[in-house]
């Protein structure tokens, strides 16, 4: 670049329009709590580096045939490495916390305690926010959400905490419904036993006696009723596994 071109470039950066663009970009950058540490190559260069490291770690084949190429790095793996310094520290405290949650979810996934599904993968669950409509974290520029995940289903994506909350709400509702059914069954059983006992206590009654208030339940009836309530309460503590999982 010659001196004349440099002068034109410098003057263009002093214009109000450019200063407004610069100020907006600085404001957006300041809101980024998890800045990456990548060079100009970005995620593409990082992925090439990871693939080379994986390929170098593959032991040579005893048959002499070329080894299978390594699988591409996962999205959460690239996100984590993009924010990690060579010393092992991270670009921010929030980046470190998210990376720790990524490690925990990877462990849970290997044990079958967490199952990544579509857009609700390990990275989205660790961050706790769904993907932006126009771009995807970690694959790099130019990759849209449909390009990476495919067509979206009609069902919304939920974070790990949202899934736990909804599971607790469903479990609570099921228990409330069971308790309502138990109370209705206990009342019906009580009324039936009460009527049977009362009928057995009056072999023949005059029309005047039929208006007499029936006597209170005896000890035998109370004992039977307590047994019914105890059984019902034990049954109410059992929640179908299909509801909780």
Query: In the prediction, which pLDDT does 123 show?
Result: 86
Which of 141, 157, 173 is at the close of a domain? 157
Is the same domain home to 75 and 114? yes
Q: What is the mean pLDDT of residues 138-145?
A: 56
Please report the pLDDT score of residue 29 as a whole number: 67
Residue 2 forms part of a structural domain: no
Per-residue pLDDT averaged across 127-155, rounded? 58
Residues 122 and 192 in one domain: no
Co-location of 176 and 145 in the same domain: no
Residue at 126 is within a domain: yes
- Shared domain for 128 and 167, answered yes or no, is no
Pairwise CA distance, residues 227 & 208, whole Å: 35
Residue 37 has pLDDT above 80, yes or no: yes
221 inside domain: yes
- Is residue 48 domain-resident? no
pLDDT in tens, 157-203: 555 566 667 677 777 877 888 888 888 888 888 788 877 776 776 65
196 and 233, same domain (yes or no): yes
| Domain carrying residue 190 | 162-201+216-244
Give the pLDDT score at 126.
87
Q: Are residues 84 and 121 in the same domain?
A: yes
Whole-number pLDDT of residue 169 = 74
* 14 falls within a domain: no
Residues in CB range of 106: below 8 A, 6 or more apart = 76, 122
Least confident of 14-23, 32-41, 70-79, 204-213: 204-213
Structure confidence at residue 175 (pLDDT): 80
CA 28 vs CA 15, 18, 43, 130, 137: distances in Å: 20, 15, 20, 19, 16
Q: Read off the pLDDT of residues 96-131 as tens digits, 9 standing for 90 and up.
A: 999 999 999 999 988 888 887 777 788 888 888 766
What pLDDT does 86 receive?
Answer: 92
Query: Structure pTM?
Result: 0.47
The share of the chain scoring above pLDDT 90, in percent, equals 16
pLDDT in tens, 26-36: 777 677 788 88
Domain match, 143 and 180 both? no
Q: Is residue 62 part of a domain?
A: no
Q: What is the mean pLDDT of the chain?
A: 74
Helices (H), the chain: 3-12, 16-31, 42-57, 75-82, 93-110, 122-127, 145-149, 160-201, 219-236, 241-244
Average pLDDT over residues 147-160: 53
Which pLDDT score, from 0 to 100, does residue 103 have?
93
Which tens digit of pLDDT belongs to each residue from 74-96?
889 999 999 999 999 999 999 99
- Which among 157, 172, 193 is the end of a domain? 157
- Domain count for the chain, please give it: 2
Evaluate whether 157 touches 127 at the Cβ level (below 8 Å): no
CB 86 within 8 A of CB 37: no
| Average pLDDT of span 140-159 | 53
């Amino acid at each position: 670049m010659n001196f004349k071109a440099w002068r034109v470039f410098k003057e263009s950066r002093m214009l109000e329009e450019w200063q407004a663009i610069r100020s907006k970009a600085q404001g957006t950058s300041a809101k980024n709590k998890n800045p990456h540490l990548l060079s100009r190559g970005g995620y593409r260069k990082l992925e090439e580096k990871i693939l080379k490291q994986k390929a170098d770690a593959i032991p040579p084949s005893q048959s002499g045939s070329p080894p299978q190429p390594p699988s591409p790095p996962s999205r959460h793996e690239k996100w984590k490495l993009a924010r990690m310094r060579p010393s092992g520290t991270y670009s921010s405290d929030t980046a470190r916390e998210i990376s720790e949650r990524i490690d925990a979810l990877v462990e849970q996934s290997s044990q079958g305690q967490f199952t990544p599904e579509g857009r609700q993968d390990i990275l989205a669950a660790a961050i706790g926010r769904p993907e932006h409509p126009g771009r995807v974290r970690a694959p790099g520029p130019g990759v849209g959400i449909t390009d990476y995940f495919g067509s979206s289903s009609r069902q919304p994506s939920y974070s790990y905490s949202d899934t736990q909350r909804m599971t607790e709400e469903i479990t609570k509702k099921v228990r409330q419904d069971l308790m309502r059914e138990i109370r209705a069954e206990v009342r019906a059983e009580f009324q039936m036993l009460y009527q049977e006992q009362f009928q057995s206590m009056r072999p023949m009654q005059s029309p005047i006696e039929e208006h007499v208030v029936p006597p209170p339940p005896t000890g035998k009836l109370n004992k039977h009723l307590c047994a019914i309530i105890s059984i019902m309460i034990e049954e109410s503590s059992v929640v179908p596994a299909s509801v909780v999982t």
